[in-house]
Amino acid sequence: MGESSSKRYASADEAVIGFLKAYQEKSQNELKEYGAVVYRKRGEYFLGKTHIGVEGSVIGIFLEALNPFKPGRTIGTIHTHPQEIPRAFGTDSKANSFSGMDAVLPGIRYLGAPNGAIYKSVKNRKPNTVIFEGLAKAPNNTMDVKVFGNTKFWAELFFRVKLSFRRLRRSRKTEKQKKK
């Protein structure tokens, strides 16, 4: 986990664009999600610690956003999706949209997508907006910049649980084959 940024911005969107210009390509090269919490204090916006996750999750931003000892008012969260995933959680967005699990993140949600766009979601039921185009695109990018609907939370949660059980069964099967 990185240190908090001392840089101040005039808006949350500016802070997010600065963060994603610095971390989107790194995220794609490492196939890890990067994220941070966006704060406001005395009319200025700044970022919390940089969190490094795995492909599919950067839980540290959720934990930091819930911490009662914050350096300012939580405005929202930012994270990256490093690459496209065919039929990501039952949608055609290929990870170029917020996942259903992202719905639990507090405040405004921002996403650095594999198609090089920055998406902003103010409320779960409203359409996402594109606030910036021009980030590094994932090597496997096939999607143009367009607005996708968000994946539904429960549908994705059940999909992830099902996927976890499949992985568990495969690993157990592999272990049994190694013992033979």
Distance CA 88, CA 142 (A): 14
Give percent of the chain with pLDDT exceeding 90: 41
pLDDT of residue 151: 56
The CA-based dihedral angle spanning residues 100, 101, 104, 107, taken in that order and rounded to the nearest 10 degrees: -70
Average pLDDT, the chain: 83
Write the pLDDT tens digit of every residue in 20-38.
999 999 999 998 999 999 9
Query: Which pTM value belongs to this model?
Result: 0.78
Write the pLDDT tens digit of every residue in 107-158.
899 999 999 999 998 876 666 889 999 999 988 888 777 666 655 656 656 6
pLDDT at 15 over 90: yes
108-112 vs 73-80, strand pairing mode: parallel
pLDDT at 88 over 60: no
If one compares 159 and 30, the residue with the highest pLDDT of the two is 30
Contact 116, 147 (CB under 8 A): no
The alpha helices in 68-179, defined as continuous H runs, are: 153-179
If one compares 163 and 53, the residue with the highest pLDDT of the two is 53
